Amino acid sequence: MHNPANLDVIYIDNHLLVVRKPAGMLVQGDRTGDISLLDYGKAYVKAAFNKPGDAFLGLVHRLDRPTSGVMVFARTSKSAARLSEQFRIQKIGKVYWALVEGKTPREGRMADKLLRAGPSSTVSSKGREAALGFRRLRFERGISWVEVRPKTGRHHQIRVQFAHRGHPVLGDLRYGARIGFPEKSLALHARALTLSHPTLKEEMTFEAAPEAFWPKRFR
């Protein structure tokens, strides 16, 4: 049994479970057999509500394994469908923090076409539209701390679009980073997520602090 005490719960009700995903943890199980955030979430719901059998928990979005931050799960199939639709039509507000190499512009917008090829993605005229907005919060010692607001949700979008412009995310060896990051993670954090509650129809925003090993000057 997975220990539900290991789950960092931000919010829970009859329809939603919002948690803080630690860097390095899978969102959903894969061939490695490692315990996933979904496993911990189901164990938490089962224990908290004394549910017999397996607890339902719907996966409506994902974060890369090395990325930390806000994750939302649906506690009913109806909530899962409604949340999935919000993600599909890009009604979910997403804010990321990233530490990237070099000095970025103070603010700007990136628009590219991204093509996925196996575990990686690349900028390609044959790809799908990818857009984001960003602003630089600080520049220090060759590192830019940027707040990113993706408009689309393409595979590795933030990582690829910044690396394509010479600003790879710290620790992202896949896309050319020269500066590492602790715990084999990336300096990429899902800082906040805004959604319409699937039954209350109220707009809600959830936030999560970055990992403890993030430099204090970039918090």
152-207 pLDDT tens trace: 999 999 999 999 999 999 999 999 999 999 998 999 999 999 999 999 989 999 99
Percent residues over pLDDT 70 in the chain: 98
> Rounded CA gap, 133 and 110, in Å?
6
pLDDT (average), residues 124-130: 97
Tens-place pLDDT, residues 36-66: 999 999 999 999 888 888 889 999 999 999 9
pLDDT at 1: 40
- Provide the H-helix boundaries in the chain: 37-48, 77-88, 157-164
Half-sphere exposure of 7 (CA within 13 A, CB side): 28
- From the list 8, 34, 54, 64, the catalytic residue is 64
Active site residue 64: yes
Q: How many angstroms separate the CA atoms of 1 and 149, rounded?
A: 37
Task: Give the burial class of 73: count Cβ atoms within 10 A of its Cβ; 0-12 exposed, 13-18 middle, 19 or more buried.
Answer: buried
Q: Is 2's pLDDT higher than 80?
A: no
Retrieve residue 202's tokens. Answer: 């109220």
Question: How buried is residue 209: exposed, middle or buried, by Cβ count under 10 Å (0-12/13-18/19+)?
Answer: middle
